[in-house]
């Protein structure tokens, strides 16, 4: 119960900041440093993976899709990504799988509030 209450309070502060962050990413994407916009998009990618696709917070949608490539949603993501960059999801997974293994070996997916 403590974890749910803490999560709710944290999200009350984070969600408005996330919306502000999204607007900043859009503005910076048009007229700011590309590296800052890229970092924001990467963070948003990880957020979507964790919240929408029930993936790990430290993994991108692309990497997760490659790991789960036999599932329908993953096949769709891989197909869309391949239209933009051939083999993108496989490369993302090769780059991120060591981080996923590292985090799982240390139990980082476990609750921190008990």
Residue 50 has pLDDT above 80, yes or no: yes
Tell me if 18 sits within 8 A of 47, measured CB to CB: yes
- Per-residue pLDDT tens over the stretch 77-108: 999 999 999 999 999 999 999 999 999 999 98
d(CA 4, CA 69) in angstroms, rounded, equals 32
| Closest alpha carbon to 42 in 26, 55, 58 | 58
- Per-residue pLDDT tens over the stretch 56-65: 999 999 999 9
**Quick one: pLDDT band at residue 76, thresholds 50, 70, 90?**
very high
d(CA 105, CA 114) in angstroms, rounded, equals 20
**What pLDDT does residue 95 have?**
96
**What pLDDT does residue 18 have?**
84
**What pLDDT does residue 103 have?**
93
**What pLDDT does residue 42 have?**
92
């Amino acid at each position: 119960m403590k974890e749910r209450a803490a999560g709710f309070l944290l999200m009350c502060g984070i969600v408005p900041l996330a919306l502000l962050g999204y607007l900043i990413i859009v503005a910076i994407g048009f007229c700011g440093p590309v590296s800052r916009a890229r970092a924001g998009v990467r963070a948003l990618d990880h957020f979507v993976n964790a919240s929408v696709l029930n993936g790990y917070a430290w993994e991108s949608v692309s990497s997760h899709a490659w790991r789960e490539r036999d599932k329908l949603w993953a096949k769709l993501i891989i197909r869309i990504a391949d239209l933009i960059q051939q083999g993108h999801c496989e490369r993302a997974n090769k780059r991120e799988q060591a981080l996923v293994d590292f985090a799982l070996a240390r139990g980082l997916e476990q609750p921190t509030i008990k």
